[in-house]
Chain A
Amino acid sequence: MNHSKPLVGVGIAVVAALALTGCSGSGTGADDANSTDAAKLESLSIMAPFLSTNAPEEDNEIEAAVEDVIGVDLDMTWVPNASYGDKVNITLAGDDLPQVMVIQGKDPGFVRNAEAGAFWDLTDYLDDYENLKTTFPEVQRASSVNGKVYGVFRARDVMREAVIIRKDWLENVGLELPETTEDLYEIAKAFTEDDPDGNGTDDTYGLIIPKWPGTIGTNSPWDAIETWYGAGTRWTERDGELVPNFTTDEWFEAVQFERQLVEEGVVNPDYATFDSAKWNEPFLTGKGGIIIDVHSRVGQLISLVKQSDPDNFENYVDVTGNLTGPDGELYALPTSGYSGFLAIPKAQVRTEAELRGVLEVLNELNSAEAGPILNNGIEDVTYTLDGDLAVAVDDVPQALKDTVGAYAQLGTNVNGFQGYLPKQPSEYEQEMYDKRKEIETADLESAQFDPAAPYVSPTYVSKGAQLDTIVADARIQYIAGQIDLDGLEDAVELWRSSGGDDIIAEINELADADS
């Protein structure tokens, strides 16, 4: 009952000390020398996805090299990319959180947790760190939740969309690389009907389209065509109001074009079930001739062709950028400019001092010293330098290559790419690589950025995913001929009445408040 004041003071000190030490396998302690009061970490736990078959082994040489630079032990949890989103949601519901988590996007689960305070709001912190202060503020904003930055975004090329075409087929049917969607149609038709491989049988089609990603606005081939038609990317402005692209006339024109492609048999018939992991196969085996996807697939395809036909591999793959729509304008489909972000859960990092400690490590991770290790690997082991370009070392074991790929997931590059661009193995490949870079630069001028990217509407958080499925499924059903245009319009109407109109209102409110 009768606590004396000094005792209370001691109690608070003890609690504070416990809070500082108790929560950390990271071994924190105050660092007086630092003016920003950052706790000095000894280790940092990070959860990240990996894209190869096997996760990096523990204590691998890449990790050791990174640790050398950043001066902190990394405690990595690798999760397969395919199930990463699920794992994030499950981890957040559990109590064994890492100090840093790769979050792949602003999905409802993340937003809900962030708004409840599960992650540190880094908006006012990032500028204090040399390597975390971004030179792409608009991308950082796009990655925010209504202006609150909950993570250090992972920068990606803004322009990646490309049309990849069988070069030999194009020559056989006597056509040029497409410039418009109309050209695309003609080529696809010729690839289907004019026996482009010259084997005398009707066994080819034009476009190869996989089932992934099925939802709206995920840069699928369908999305690309819709953007080219002028429907915008995900959201667009009409009469001063922000609206989802699927409410525009241009979008409806585009899906009619898509349906025509399918009806005329120029798309692989199993587009609704075809696994995206096999996307390259029909292209390589001579079943289909056009892929609409990121242009990095060009590099993949060329190296695969090279393995099977090392003498003539230059003759198979060609690439061009975004296509002009029916109104003669070029509307290029950009990426969001980031691929998720590194977020810091409060459950593990409880105090501001600890937060500063974590940010310091992330700052080091994005330094000119650590960047090349994450992006290229170890010099003279996985690559050698030729001027400013990294030359891949030939006999690097696959496991080590995969490990480099995995650690690249930690690269944020928020102030430019921290690493060396790859030197291509042959002149032709270098030529194609440069061509891709030129396409990027050219298309950037016509990019249709998503004006609603930074805004997160509460209704969208609670039921946006189900709503999106309504339109996405209707789109495929319409393309497949299961429903007619009225049915598709009904689906958009259902989207509106089940909460879509609220989402539009909320997004516009947020946008107005912002401007």
Chain B
Amino acid sequence: MPDLIRRPQIIRSTPAPAIVADDFARLVLTVSTDAPESSESAATVTLPSVADAPNLIVPLAVWQARRDELLARLTQGGKLGVSLAPGEEAEQLAGDFAHLALIAVEFPKFVDGRGYTSATLLRRLGWTGEIRAVGDVLRDQFFLMRRCGIDAFALKEGKDLNDALKAFDDFSFTYAGAVDDPRPLFRRVQRGGASLDAGQSS
């Protein structure tokens, strides 16, 4: 059976950082490295019923293999999300934005930083909906993730959501441009003074 990961609550950074209820389930294929033949494949994995999991996030491979079946769920009142694993290119979803309620970026290990680039590129491709960080997601990454266009955070299990909320205040100023504000600091403010200008955006 595939794993269905549910988080009762996640953190959203828009409009303002807050803990919100979540009714998505994320389907994860079980992969067995010792017995590859018993690993699940995208083509054959059992999808949960719409009644059981109306709002479902599936891996890119499942989306590609089971497109019609998944699209049918939309007519039954379900919502769909697709998750991108590290190494999967954001471009592959560019034609599908209209069908999706959210795109998840996977961080199987928080030290694997490919998701930051994936999120950046999704925004460049014109995706304006939710980008959700899933997996090994720590508050210590929130600030950076938000700058790359990630606006929802399924915090790693066992971590304190209230504590995590504070992470958005780690920095009031940033040097480089990024998705949240493409202008580097030197284009946002008058630099060189001994006091801060008003009007810094982040």
Interaction A to B: no
